[in-house]
Amino acid sequence: MKAPKNCEILCWVYASPRQDEMYLYLKQKDDFDSLPNALRQHFGSPRLVMELALHAGRKLAREDVEAVMSNLDAQGYHLQMPPRIDADLNDGE
């Protein structure tokens, strides 16, 4: 479900102490009790890194803003996983 074009959602972004570049966006500040247990355990003790106002025209570095807004609206959180790194293998030359 897409958020309306004129809709703005305030969210809080937390970094994981256990995994570099893993971030958790929450619709409610410090609302960790609403997260699934497995996610809380895997993520670790969240560290607040920023507060953001999201809207359809906003650009995010690695996430689709409309997907983030949809997840926040539907489940109250969005998990941003670390980027996948593909190694370039040298053929020995």
The pLDDT of residue 91? 63
Residue 22 lies in a domain: yes
The pLDDT of residue 83? 87
- Residue 20: give its domain's CATH number: 3.10.510.20
Domain that holds residue 66: 8-80
The pLDDT of residue 75? 96
The residue with greater pLDDT, 19 or 1, is 19
Residue 64 lies in a domain: yes
Task: Evaluate whether 54 touches 8 at the Cβ level (below 8 Å).
Answer: yes
Residue 90 lies in a domain: no
> Is the per-residue pLDDT at 4 higher than 90?
no
Residue 13 lies in a domain: yes
Name the domain count of the chain. Answer: 1
> Is the per-residue pLDDT at 27 higher than 90?
yes
Residue 1 lies in a domain: no
Residue 2 lies in a domain: no
Q: Tens digit of pLDDT for each residue in 53-91?
A: 999 999 999 999 999 999 999 999 999 999 876 666 666
Residue 91 lies in a domain: no
> Is the per-residue pLDDT at 1 higher than 60?
no
The residue with greater pLDDT, 32 or 7, is 32
The model carries a pTM of 0.83
Produce one character per residue of 10-39: b if its CB has 16 or more CB atoms within 10 Å, e if not. Answer: ebbbbbbeeeeebbbbbbeeeeeeebeeee
